Structure 1
Amino acid sequence: MNGTRRPVGLVSVVIPARNAETTLPAQLEALCAQTYPDPWEVIVVENGSSDGTRALLRRWEGRMPRLRVTVTDAPGVNHARNLGCRRAGGEFVLLCDADDVAAPGWVTGLVDALRTDPAVGGALERRLLNGTVALAARPPKKSAALLDTFGFLPYPAGANCGFHKELWHQLGGFDESYQGGGDDTEFFWRAQLAGYRLAFAPHAVMHYRHRGDTRTIARQSYGYGRSHPRLYRDFAAHGMPPARPGDAARAWWALLLHSPDLLGPTDRRAALLAQLALRTGRVVGSARHRRCYL
């Protein structure tokens, strides 16, 4: 399955969409501008929106012939991903989010990588769609590699990745009990532990949108932090290293030293709250999953 360049039939792009009325049009416009020349489809899974996302999708079905819409009231990004994968007619499945914007060569970049590897991740460009507050809370990382937050196995963001549908079948899909963080990491770690190679596709660029206000930044960071002890619980036996106590101590000390930023400019406040929420989430997650990962 690895290393042999293979022909491609239909390609499926799956987009989970919840309360995406304001951002989804830009992503759909970007997909309409893709340079990929062969057959492909777009499957948007709308799950539980309270805004006008469903009405928006009905209008787009008439504008975008290859668009297919699935509606469900069940929450969770992994539920939406699994539902989209089940409906996907393609042998290659690409995932992106409803609030980002794909560069014109995004589909081509992922498909080219999937011709030789069963799972791939693309590059995240973090500046185009984000202001100073968002970038202060989540400073841009290098985009020329897969993510490697935990010193274990690399992984792509669910906002820019692809895989053979057969791989998804073999793994039993995404774990729908992961919510708020770790949902994409867990899937691609299982894939690698099962013997599937994961590649990086540098030409598959996704313009990535961060949360833009302090409240949603803190909520997202808390969810990420809460998921980390669960990942450790599930993958420590496979080699995921423990969190180093010294790192946690230094992080909490830095938060204390920078506590005056809570009364400072919005960008500094957002950066402090993001780290505070992440560390608090790790404490709560450690208690919940009975694995210390601070």
Structure 2
Amino acid sequence: MTSVVIPSFQGGERLKVLLECLSRQVTDFEWEAIVVLDGSTDDSLDVIRDWAAIIPVRAVDLGVNQGRPTALNAGFSAANGRVLIRCDDDLAPRPQYLSDHTAHHRDTDEVGVIGLYDNIIPQTTYTSAYGAQAHAAFNRSVLATPAQYLWRYWAGNCSVTRTMYDRVGPYDTAFRYYGWEDTDWGYRLALAGASICVDPGLETPHHTPAVTTEIRSRRAFLSGSAATRFLEKHGPVDDPTSIEVAQWTVWTTGVRIASLAPNSIRVAGARFIDRVGHRFPRGITRKLIALSVESSGMAGRRCGPNPPASFGKGV
């Protein structure tokens, strides 16, 4: 059996799309989907109950929001399958999704599989000037990454077997806010001896939530903060994809200066870019967005592993 674990928070509308996609899967094996509701108060539970009459899906309701690592752990604990797929609730898997993930594990427990995102991007100031290009560049960089560093890209479209999951252990609930709970697990997966691969055929349509400069900058701050927790836990790691800035340039000097601004000022700046950036030449808008995102990430790293709880609002 293959189990699909879906962490979800306020994802009723997203789940309608995802569960319909799962209903179209072409498989020759038994499968199940477990949706973990992490404090959802929308119609998510009703959506799952409706689809349970059509496909093998069930809910695990945590009642209150406990964070993605806790939701993932609850889902994997409830799963019955030998193959375990993590599928975030904003994905829209193609009909071969379950079969393609499962095929990698048919003869071995020693592999971890990553699928990339094919972002479905609405036209906003952020996506037009920066987001679409940044995502395409990211996917190219992943495909060019040596196998020993692919753990860095463990995220919301991935799979292992139950044997390997039990060897690695649960997701670390210390990563309470946005980011790095999956990177931490991917790193531990690599340490456990798994061979990690990226399957280009598993690139999956993704309704990305990061469609404004403000949202992306908030996420960059929280991700930067979580990165310091990773470093506290594991120490420096051999990772050429590290985003740490090593050299002083005019650009990095500007990023460092902007990172010193209070969070409220950086958020106001991001909102200003979203509101009026379309009036500027695209190159200037792209630089302003990059400055906002990169300085927020640097500010998060300076903040350390305990960011202000209020800064996660809207992420």
- TM-score bracket for this pair, using the shorter chain length: 0.7 to 0.9
Report the equivalent of 1:235: 234
Report the equivalent of 1:119: 112
Q: Deviations over 1:216-270 (max 9, x none)?
A: 322222211111222222233553577343269733525879x898474158365
Preserved CA contact (<8 Å) 1:105 1:205 = no
Report the equivalent of 1:245: 246
Identity %: 22
Q: 1:123 is aligned with what amino acid?
A: L
Q: 2:303 is aligned with what amino acid?
A: V
Distance 2:11 2:17 in 1: 10
Q: 1:208 is aligned with what amino acid?
A: H
Preserved CA contact (<8 Å) 1:125 1:206 = yes
Distance 2:250 2:164 in 1: 40
Distance 1:143 1:224 in 2: 19
Preserved CA contact (<8 Å) 1:108 1:204 = no
Distance 2:211 2:162 in 1: 34
Change (3 A) 1:276 1:130: farther
Q: Deviations over 1:180-206 (max 9, x none)?
A: 110111001011112222122221121
Change (3 A) 1:218 1:254: closer
Q: Deviations over 1:64-107 (max 9, x none)?
A: 2x111110024111111111111111011000111121122222
CA RMSD of aligned residues (A): 3.2
1:277 pairs with 286, 296, 307, which one?
Answer: 296
Report the equivalent of 2:36: 45
Change (3 A) 1:145 1:224: same
Preserved CA contact (<8 Å) 2:114 2:159 = yes
Report the equivalent of 2:86: 95
Report the equivalent of 1:24: 15
Change (3 A) 1:111 1:251: farther
Distance 2:141 2:193 in 1: 20
Give the TM-score normalised by structure 2. Answer: 0.76
Change (3 A) 1:235 1:248: farther
Q: 1:158 is aligned with what amino acid?
A: A
Unpaired runs of 5+ in structure 1?
Answer: 1-9, 289-294
Report the equivalent of 1:292: none
Report the equivalent of 1:161: 158
Report the equivalent of 1:55: 46
Distance 2:246 2:228 in 1: 14
Unpaired runs of 5+ in structure 2?
Answer: 259-268, 308-315
Corresponding pairs, count: 275
Give the TM-score normalised by structure 1. Answer: 0.81
